[in-house]
Amino acid sequence: MSSNARHVPVMLQRCLDMLAPALTEPGAVVVDCTLGAGGHSEALLKTFPEARLVALDRDPTALDLAGTRLAPFGERATLVRAVYHELPEVLERLGIPKVQGVLFDLGVSSMQLDEADRGFAYAQDAPLDMRMDQTTGISAAEVLNTYAPGDLVRILRAYGEEKQARRIVEAVVRERAKEPFTNSARLVDVIREALPQAAKRHGGNPAKRTFQALRIEVNAELASVEAAIPAAVAALAVGGRIAVLSYQSLEDRIVKQVFAAGAATTAPPGLPVVPERYQPRLKLLTRGAELPTEEEVAENRRAAPARLRGAERIREDIP
């Protein structure tokens, strides 16, 4: 199966519709902060022929593959190796003061899940790596083998929302004393053995929350999201729009909080007239988080956990 066929962009048409009002004018700039295999970026370039694309990804493999896919668009597409929280520095280097559209498709990409040697997927045995950029940082195996038990418990609870974190970590610590962890299959087996039967009856693969937690820790994902979403809002011109796809509650909660704060007045209570500088900066484009349709989930199972939120910049910051 070709990469284009395998990596189906999630909620593609809804994302395009949400961004469309901001991207029709010549010279509009749209940023795809999570390039991946390039599906969303390709659709943006095709749908908005007057727009220029800036696309970010920390994964060199993704940049190579997407670069080939987007080559027909020539200078309209600028691909940059960067983590999405580095958006302000990227735009400054490119001489772009404000943008008209921003898209985030958070979490691990389908391409990374499909590459067995990356170690993201608990359904197949692979080296426990999980780094989105394999040229830097520590691997998931290093986290498992070197972190103190208390830190591992904290990570599993905070990033995986794993109720059985202490039980899993006790088993991991016992096993790593015998032999360091190197591959995913052994970790999955240890987790299965550690959990009580009741915990294994519901919620799919019992290893998924641990794998999510390790991936978030290895790639500092939540810290990046916490910095990136406000930075993207700040980069929007008035009338610009942002769309964010999240796949787990921790990411979605951050997006919700940033958008809600931007859409609220900051005036002290009791003012008879709210001055302009206290007025909301954002208008919400979704009521809560939008979900994929049943038809899309049937066609693309990876769309199932997706949550889409959008907002429009309606005024500049006033000091």
Predicted confidence (pLDDT) per residue in 19-46, tens digit:
999 999 999 999 999 998 899 999 999 9
pTM of the predicted model as reported, rounded to 2 decimal places: 0.85
Phi/psi at 85 (5° precision): -75, -10
For residue 8, what is the DSSP state? Answer: P
* Predicted local confidence at residue 126, as pLDDT: 86
Return the higher-pLDDT residue of 63 and 277: 63
Please name the residues in contact with 136: beta carbons below 8 A apart, sequence gap of 6 or more. Answer: none
Pairing of strands 77-81, 282-284: unpaired
Round to whole Å and give the CA distance between 228 and 225.
5
Round to whole Å and give the CA distance between 229 and 222.
11
Q: Residue 236 — very low, low, confident or very high, per pLDDT cuts 50/70/90?
A: very high
* Predicted local confidence at residue 317, as pLDDT: 82
SS3 at position 32 = strand
Please name the residues in contact with 299: beta carbons below 8 A apart, sequence gap of 6 or more. Answer: 8
Round to whole Å and give the CA distance between 23 and 1.
33
Ligand-binding annotation for 133, yes or no, is: no
CA dist 87 to 19, 57, 59, 236, Å? Answer: 18, 11, 15, 12
Predicted confidence (pLDDT) per residue in 175-200, tens digit:
999 999 999 999 999 999 998 876 66
Average per-residue pLDDT in the chain?
89
Q: Residue 4 — very low, low, confident or very high, per pLDDT cuts 50/70/90?
A: very low
Ligand-binding annotation for 57, yes or no, is: yes
Ligand-binding annotation for 310, yes or no, is: no
